[in-house]
Structure 1
Amino acid sequence: MNKTFSNNRKLYLAFLEFRHTENRRPPRAGAAPQETRLQGPAIDTHAHVFRQGLALADARRHTPDYDATLTQYLALLDAHGVARGVLVQPSFLGTDNSHLVAALRAAAGRLRGVAVVSPDIATEDLLALAEAGVAGIRLNLIGLPLPALDQPAWQELLAHVNTLGWHVEVHLQASRLPAIMPALLAAGCRVVIDHFGRPDPALGIADPGFAYLLRQADSGQVWVKLAAPYRNWPAPDCARAGREAARLLLDAYTPDRLMWGSDWPHTEHRHLASYTAATQWLDAWIDDAAARQAVLADTPLRLFQFTGEAR
């Protein structure tokens, strides 16, 4: 069977299964906490949806024992005054993006996606992802060796990413960023760095890798997500330490290269975070109204190729 036909059929079947599963599963009680509505237009640029029973990647750091459904996520967006969102393929689902694609289609344009793909993915499959609303690929390299981006398969993939107007999202410790960012920038990619750049919790903004990330602002090709501070600092320090890091990132990148994300459902850190907490941390990080408008709406509208306004 033709590989592309087989993959597209798989996506269609996954969409049918997704609709059946979502329709019979009501929102979990308490999924939308007491609302803390963001002021003005807003886009959440980092969240995940999944359910138990999906095929999992053989190599994974985490196996969730709960569901994080599209229904729950959209309810949280509504409760907090967030117009649009971005779903990022969870690392534990590997390169099977069928559940992500089904969610994007079910959301009917309200969401964009970031997929995980192998370097030998067919061009037709990339186009199918783009049609569904995918706007980038993710390299989640925590605990993994760095890919050989100079190899022909990777170079071809990165060229396709650029042609589609996508970006490459990188999740990696700050200390390892100098080993991968030059190749991505040399390939002409737009690069999005996850979670403040993942500075060492013991060093914080003194991490040399974080200083390296600040210097990459001059390239004009890099964006940074202000998200998941609990992956970098102890929970009681998320507001203060996040504000210190955000101040330096704002100075280096300006609000035109920064975005906010909830990181819902806060995998492996559910005991430390909530959607409401994510919005409150943003309040602690950025005071200026114009900067908030850019970080919450203007910048992600452009990068993720949304149409219309973030309202």
Structure 2
Amino acid sequence: MNDHGINQRRKPTFVLPAGNCDAHCHVFGPGDVFPYAPSRRYTPQDAPKEALATLHDRLNVERAVIVQASCHGTDNRAMLDAIAWRPDRYRGVAIVDDTFDDRAFDELDEGGVRGVRFNFVRHLGGSPDMDVFNRVIDRIKGRGWHVVLHLDGTDIVPLADMIWRLPIPYVIDHMGRVDTQLGTEQPAFQALLELARRDECWVKVCGSERISSFPFDAAVPFARALVEASPERTLWGTDFPHPNLKEPVDEADLVDLVPRFSLTQEEQQRLLVDNPARLYGFGT
């Protein structure tokens, strides 16, 4: 098994609190068991559930939300297999289309899935078919699920009206992938903050390695502003194994950013424990 060099990485300085959750991570393959989608835009290195568990043991992560990535398309078996391996500790977010009927959604729910994800990011194929998007949203209303929106920063303002009208809770990935060089006053980030203040909106303060370069200082004021704007609806994650990222990442560096995002133990407890437990039903 390729462990992505996890055991060669350092351990974080910051100690994660009990009950903490990596609310954004992936499993890939193994491809000979769970093949990648023929229409995928990239082919990752295998990163099966055992590699994820090795990482989490090293970081002292206790819970996880496994987010289906586009390279597996709507075949959610690798993610469901990982949840079934540790059902008390893992939840999932699926990729679906409008071929999924109520029985299929029931099976996903029973398998630990609590939301669906749609990519709007250009290098992953751009905006989804909005008719399909709307039909899926209609089908999952009433399940207590949410929709995860993977956006480019340049899309936040154009999509804001659509997002505001969503009839279910929504989660915005990776701080909206805003351009940190444009500063926190840029219209895209101000629009994201306006969304973040709404009761229906959750935001993941992960992806620092996507919107800034090591040691990721440029991401800190953005994450801090989001935590201040929405202390009870922000989530954190590693994004392991960082698909489509050119530079290698030591997840210990991402863990050690947390006390710069959330300055007090109370804030850290909400970000890492209470918020993901509430959204994903851990401990219930």
TM-score between both structures, scaled by the size of structure 1:
0.82
Summarize deviations over 1:189-224 as a string: whole Å, max 9, x none. 211011111102432424311110111134211111
> Percent identity among equivalent residues?
30
Residues 182 and 120 (structure 1 numbering): CA distance in 2 closer, same or farther, change over 3 Å?
A: farther
Matched, 1:40 2:20: no
Equivalent positions of 1:16-55 (< 5 A) are 25=1, 30-31=6-7, 33-36=9-12, 38-41=15-18, 42-50=20-28, 51-53=30-32, 54-55=34-35
Report the secondary structure of 1:177's partner residue: helix
The residue type equivalent to 2:282 in the other structure is F
Corresponding residue for 1:234?
Answer: 213
The residue type equivalent to 1:60 in the other structure is R
Residues 79 and 270 (structure 1 numbering): CA distance in 2 closer, same or farther, change over 3 Å?
A: farther
| Alignment match of 1:147 (pick from 112, 128, 131) | 128
Corresponding residue for 1:18?
Answer: none
Aligned residues: 278
Gaps of 5+ in 2: none
Aligned-residue offset at 1:79: 2.3
Matched, 1:63 2:43: yes
**For 1:218 and 1:29, how far apart are their aligned partners in 2?**
39
Corresponding residue for 2:92?
Answer: 113
The residue type equivalent to 2:254 in the other structure is A
Summarize deviations over 1:245-276 as a string: whole Å, max 9, x none. 122112321x2011110011112337331221
Corresponding residue for 1:282?
Answer: 258
The residue type equivalent to 1:250 in the other structure is V
| Alignment match of 1:301 (pick from 259, 265, 277) | 277
Aligned-residue offset at 1:147: 3.4
Aligned-residue offset at 1:155: 3.4
Matched, 1:79 2:55: no
Aligned-residue offset at 1:80: 1.8
The residue type equivalent to 1:74 in the other structure is A
Report the secondary structure of 1:138's partner residue: strand
More helix by share: 1
**For 2:240 and 2:126, how far apart are their aligned partners in 1?**
26
Summarize deviations over 1:16-37 as a string: whole Å, max 9, x none. xxxxxxxxx5967644734326
Aligned-residue offset at 1:78: 2.2
The residue type equivalent to 1:288 in the other structure is T
Q: Output the aligned Cα RMSD.
A: 2.2
Matched, 1:124 2:124: no
**For 1:133 and 1:286, how far apart are their aligned partners in 2?**
28
Matched, 1:213 2:192: yes
Residues 181 and 135 (structure 1 numbering): CA distance in 2 closer, same or farther, change over 3 Å?
A: farther
**For 2:174 and 2:267, how far apart are their aligned partners in 1?**
18
**For 2:149 and 2:81, how far apart are their aligned partners in 1?**
23
Report the secondary structure of 2:271's partner residue: helix
Aligned-residue offset at 1:94: 0.8
TM-score between both structures, scaled by the size of structure 2:
0.89
Report the secondary structure of 1:180's partner residue: helix
Corresponding residue for 1:20?
Answer: none
Larger Rg: 1
Give the conservation status (yes or no) of the 8 Å contact 1:225–1:258.
Answer: yes
